[in-house]
A and B are shown apart, each in its own frame.
Chain A
Amino acid sequence: MSEQHSPRRPYLAPLTASWWLKHRYYRFYMLREATVLPLLFFCGCLIAGFYSLQQGEQSWLNWLSFMAQPWVMALNALTFAASLFHAKTFFELFPRVMPLLPAPLMIAGQWLGTIAVAALLLLLLGGVL
């Protein structure tokens, strides 16, 4: 029988753009990926900060007052929360990708490392602010 007369007519359901809304698991995944959006704003702030530092004192003071505005503080607080959430998911996935030690040990180690680096940065840069 030629292909033309085959009774086969497989039906492929189209995948809509809203596929990720259909399941809790996909929504969680998209939330994880979306944590990069507020981070983009923070990166912009940081780059602007470095630029203003190079431009001179007045520019730097302007940047500092910009950063102190409530909406900027709120957005950056959101960025911080989103980054912590992303870190949590990442740290939990990492032992599955590189199973070097028991997973709870690796997760604890990554958090300890994060705290150590954050403490070091605060110590080094704390005097500047």
Chain B
Amino acid sequence: MEKTVEKTLVIQRYNPEQDQRPSQQRYQVPFDNSTSVLDALLYIQQSLDPSLAFRWSCRMAICGSCSVMVNGIPKLGCKTFLREYSGDLLLEPLAHFATEKDLVSDMTLFLQHLQAVKPYLIRQEQSAATTPATKPQPHKQTPKQLAKYRKFSSCINCGLCYAACPQFGLNPEFLGPAALTLAQRYNLDNRDQGKAERMPQLNGKNGVWGCTFVGFCSDVCPKHLDPAAAVNQGKVASATDFVIGLFKP
């Protein structure tokens, strides 16, 4: 198909070295059925305006870099197509994050929140792997045990759920959907023994109880993880942890 039809992209521009606040700029972009928002941004950068800044890498919805707001909704640029929109497209950097330049957001907070929940396998006992006398032993997992956490394990750290979460917007200290989902993912993993280390984070005021189940995070998740479900399952875990704590010496 010939790229003869054009679409207007209104893009939020912000240059920290010159601008006091962001402004908008319009671009005409030729498109066909296969033109994604990321393709359109690359076209603008290469043919119309090399000063436009945005993040991207894989083009196939796995790296989570090209997150932007399209008409106010958090989207992956590579997974969103111009054909899906009848009118103009308004592209803005991710909501609730500070903007570094144009469509580039400062993801520091997001990364700090991810780190805070220790999203990796923690083993308490001295595993056989550490004693030189024995060979390293693999940790076994049945398909049933895998199924428990699998659907929460495909997060690509795109940050769309944070841009959808008003609680994170109101309180940036709230750990947020992706971090709490990751915590739940590792807590549900039978190979992991780090639940006790994660629970204080989840139980705190910026943990699972900061969520009010708006549910928009699950709607925008490009990997259909259902982070809202994970966070609220975390509330059950947190409540159980509290009750168990009452009976511990």
Contact = CB atoms under 8 A, between A and B. Distances in A.
Given A19-B166, A98-B233, A25 B219 contact: yes
B72 A22 contact: yes
Contacts of A93: 213, 215, 232
Interface in B18-48: 21-22
A96 B16 contact: no
B9 interface: no
A7 B232 contact: no
Interface residues of A, number: 21
A19 B17 contact: no
Interface stretch (B96-104, B112-120, B191-199): B96-104
B81 interface: no
Contact of B229 (A22, A23, A96): A96
B66 interface: no
A98 B169 contact: no
Interface string A12-55: 11010001101101100100010000000000000000000000
Contacts of B98: 10-12
B169 A15 contact: yes
A73 to B, nearest CB: 32
Q: Which of A10, A23, A25, A33 counts the most B-chain CB atoms under 10 A from its CB?
A: A10
B170 interface: yes
Contact of A10 (B21, B100, B232): B100
B214 A25 contact: yes
B15 to A, nearest CB: 9
Given A10-B98, A11-B99, A97 B216 contact: no
Interface string A56-76: 000000000000000000000
Contact of A8 (B100, B170, B212, B233): B100
A10 B106 contact: yes
Interface in B49-92: 72-73
B226 A98 contact: no
B174 interface: no
Contacts of A98: 233, 236
Q: Which 10 residue pairs are nearest across A and B when measured between Cβ atoms?
A: A10-B98, A9-B16, A96-B229, A97-B232, A12-B98, A25-B216, A29-B214, A11-B99, A10-B106, A15-B169
Interface of A: 7-13, 15, 19-20, 22-23, 25-26, 29, 33, 93, 96-99
